[in-house]
Each structure stands twice: as structure tokens, then as C-alpha cells.
Structure 1
Amino acid sequence: MKIEEGKRNFDLQKLLKSKVTWVIAGAIAIIFISYNVGYSLAKVPLSEKKVTYDELLNEIEGKEEELQEKKAKVEEQRQKLLGLIEETTKNEAILAEAKDFETNKTKLEDEINSLSDQVNTKKSEIETLNTDIKSKETELASVTGQIKEKEDAPKQLSAGNFIVGTDIPTSRYKAVPVGNSGNFVVYSSYGDLKVNTILGGDYGEKEYVFFAEEGDQIELAAPAKFIPIE
């Protein structure tokens, strides 16, 4: 009985040892499998490749560098855009000033044209007034007996004989002495005596008015000036 019981105890211990061995072996197998699975899972698809963790870090660093380059280019483009915006703003300001200048120019031109019209109107009024003044002066001279000189240049003759229409135009003249006194005589074309006087000096006339008609003959003993009158 003791022998059988001892044999059973021995078999039991042997069985227990066998089970422990298998448990340990199974644990080792599980650890090995888990390591292989973990190592396999540590590999992920990236750019259609299987990369390790270190390769993945290198890939990420490369992408970060590329991202920084992209950011730098974007910043460069942004600065250019800001420059264009600033330049556009300046150009818009210049354009606005040009438009204001054009508007003011148009207003000034309108004002100048208006003033020019006013000046022309005033000139016309002045010419009308001058005509009226001349007319009134003529009327006044006629009423008071005053003599009004024409705008024609006076004609100066030396001492001698002259013919009206050849040496001097026909007109009504005011004869005045030039320098010394002397006889002043006028005959008509028919030989009739029209003027016989002395111009200048203490006893002569300071001026003499007469009609010089075509063919009249003028005799001067001293130079005289003939001023056309109305």
C-alpha cells in the first residue's frame, strides 16, 4: 500500500513538474510571439513603404523642413502682396488727386471762360461809351464853337508854295506856326484869294482854321503845321 501510494505521489509530482514546464514554455512562446507581433506592428505604411520608427522620425523631420520652406515662401508671397497693396493704395491716392485736379481744372476753365465773356462784354460797353463820348464831344464842339482835331497825323510844310491834293490832302485844317512868323496865303484853284494872314509872332495868329480844297495853292513865308480837324 505504501509503495503504491508513494508511486502515485511520484507520478503526481512528475505530472506537476511537467505542467510547470509546459506553462513556462508557453509563457516563453507567448513572449516571443508578442515581441514579433509588436515589432511587426511597429512598421506602418508611409509613402507606400514599410519604415521603422527611426525612419519615420527622419521622414517627419524632412516633412517639417519642407513645411518650413513652404511657410517661408508663403511669407515671402505675403510680403509681396502687402507691397502690392501698399503700392495700389498709393496709386489710388494719386489717381484721386488727379481726378480732383481735373475737376478743379474744369471749374477753373469755366470761371476763366466766364470772366473772359465778362471782359469782352465790358470791352464792348467801353467801345460803345467811347463812341458816345466822341459823339457828345463833337456835339459839344459844334455848340460851343470848339475845334476837334482828327486822329490823322498832322502835316508839316516848310516855307514855299504847295498844291492841295498833291502836297497835302484835302481837309479842314488848323494851321499853326513852327518857329518864326511869316505870311500865310491861300488861293483857290480859280485864283481867288481865300486866306491872307500872318502866322506867329507878336502880331500874327497863333492858329488859323481854313478849308483846303482840291487844287488850292498855299504860300508859306515860314514853316507851318497843318492839323486835320472835324
Structure 2
Amino acid sequence: MDKLKSKLKSKKLWYSVSGVVVLVLAFVAGQSSAQVLLGEEKVKYTEVEEHITATENTLSEKEEELSALEQEIQDQEGLLESKQKEVDEANKLIGTIDELKEEKETLQGTVEEKEGTIESLDGDISAKEEELAALEEGILNKSGEPIELGAGEYIIGADIPAGRYTATNIGEGSNFFVRDASGYSSVNTILGDDWYGDYTFFGEDGETIETAAPVKLIPVE
């Protein structure tokens, strides 16, 4: 009985030891597996951290590039605005030039018109100057022969026709009078004198011509 009990105790001890060994081995095996798993997770975590760091660095670089690009865009927008102002000023200048061209064409037309008017006026002036010169010189002679008078008195309308005459001396010259019916002298001059020379007058019917020397009456208009 004692031997049997002793064997039973030995088996129980063995079982107990075996169980403990199994538990120890299981624990060791579990611990080892856990370390392996933890190692793999650690490796994976380190890789993730490195990837995150690299991504953050790339993101930071991209942000810097984006900031630089935004600054360049702002600079280009400022340059574009400046160029637009230049274009606006150029367009305004072109508009002013077009207006000046139109004004120039208008002025040229006005100048040409005025030149035509001036030419016409020059022609009129020339004609009037010739007419005035003829009137001043009394050379617009009528058709008809000059009338020569000797010294004496003559009645206009009886001895000579009424009209306009230029009286000029024949010879040295003398006093020359034209009087109306009341005796009033409408002409009192000296023909042939250096100061007086010829004289043009209107002779009306009834007036009297008096000359102290021969004269010539030239009909004029």
C-alpha cells in the first residue's frame, strides 16, 4: 500500500512537474512569439514614422514651392496690371492722334477753301486796282474826239456837250474856271502848273467855262 501510494505521489509529482514544465515552455514560447510580434510591429511603426517624416518634409517643400508660385503669380499680376495701364495709355494716345489727324484734315480743307477764296479776292483786287488806277489817272476816255478850246468863255450845252472831261493845257497853261449860272465857281485851278497839272470835272448844261489860254477837253467816263 505504501509503495502504491509512493508511486502515486511520484506520478503526481511528475505530472505536476511536467505540467509546470509545459507551462514554463508555453510561457517561454508565448513570450518568444510575443517578442517576435512586438519586433515586427516595432519595425512597422518605425517605417511608418519614417514615411510620415518623409511625407511631412515633402509637404513642407511643396508648401514652399506653392508659396513661391503664389508670389510669382502676384508679381506677374502686378506686371500685367502695369502693362495694362501702358496699353490703356497707348490706346488713349492713339485716340488723340486720330483726333489730331481728323482735325488736320479739316484744317487742310479749310486752308484749301481759304486759298481758293484768296485767289478769287486777289483777282478782284487786281481788277479793282486797275479800275482805280484808271479812275485816278482819268484815262477811261469816251468814244469821241477831244475838244480844243482857245482862250475865252464857253457855254456847256451850247458850245460843248454836257459831260465829264479832263482839261489839259495846250502850251504853257493858264487859269481855268467853271461857273454856274449864278457865277459860283465850281472849278478854279491852274492847268499846266507843277502843282496842279490836268483837272477832271463834270460840266452841266448852263455852266460856263473860262480859260485864259488854249486848252483841250478830253471826254472821260
Partner of 2:82: 87
Percent identity over paired residues: 9
SS of the residue 1:193 aligns to:
coil
Q: Are 2:28 and 1:25 aligned? A: yes
Query: Which letter does structure 2 place at the counterpart of 1:120?
Result: E
User: Distance in 1 between the 2:197 and 2:104 partners?
Assistant: 52
Letter of the aligned partner of 1:149 in structure 2? Answer: E
Does the aligned pair in 1 maintain the 2:175–2:189 contact within 8 Å? Answer: no
Alignment: residue pair count = 163
In the other structure, the counterpart of 1:179 is none
> 1:166 is matched with which residue?
none
1:67 Cα shift? 4.4
Matches within 5 A, 1:74-223: 74-131=69-126, 133=128, 148-149=135-136, 193=171, 195-197=173-175, 220=194
Could you list the structure 1 runs, at least 4 aligned residues long, displaced by more than 4 angstroms after superposition. Answer: 4-7, 55-68, 131-135, 202-209
Is 2:15 aligned against 1:12?
Answer: yes
Deviation of 1:7 after TM superposition, in Å, equals 4.2
Q: CA deviation at 1:219?
A: 5.3
Q: Select the structure of larger CA radius of gyration.
A: 2
Q: 1:39 to 1:13 in 2, by over 3 A?
A: same
User: Structure 1's 96 and 206: CA in aligned 2 closer, same or farther, altered over 3 A?
Assistant: farther
1:34 alignment counterpart: 37
Whole-Å Cα distance in 1 between the matches of residues 120 and 189 of structure 2? 37
User: SS of the residue aligned with 1:16?
Assistant: helix
Shift of 1:9: 3.6
Output the CA distance in 2 between the equivalents of 1:119 and 1:66.
Answer: 78
Q: Secondary structure of 1:116's match?
A: helix
| Cα distance in structure 2, aligned partners of 1:68 and 1:120 | 76
Aligned to 1:154: none
Q: Match of 2:152? A: none
Gaps of 5+ in 1: 45-51, 142-146, 151-173, 176-184, 187-191, 210-217
Q: Matched residue of 1:11: which SS?
A: helix
- The one-letter code of the counterpart of 1:124 is E
The partner residue of 1:70 within 65, 75, 78 is: 65
Contact 1:197 1:204 in 2 (8 A): no
Unaligned 5+ runs, structure 2: 138-165, 178-183, 201-219
Let me know the Cα RMSD of the aligned residues: 4.3
Higher helix share: 2
Three-state SS of the structure 1 residue aligned to 2:136 is coil
Residues 17, 88 of structure 1: alpha-carbon distance in 2 compared, 3 angstrom cutoff: same
What residue identity is the alignment partner of 1:32? Answer: Q
CA distance in 2, matches of 1:198, 1:89: 93
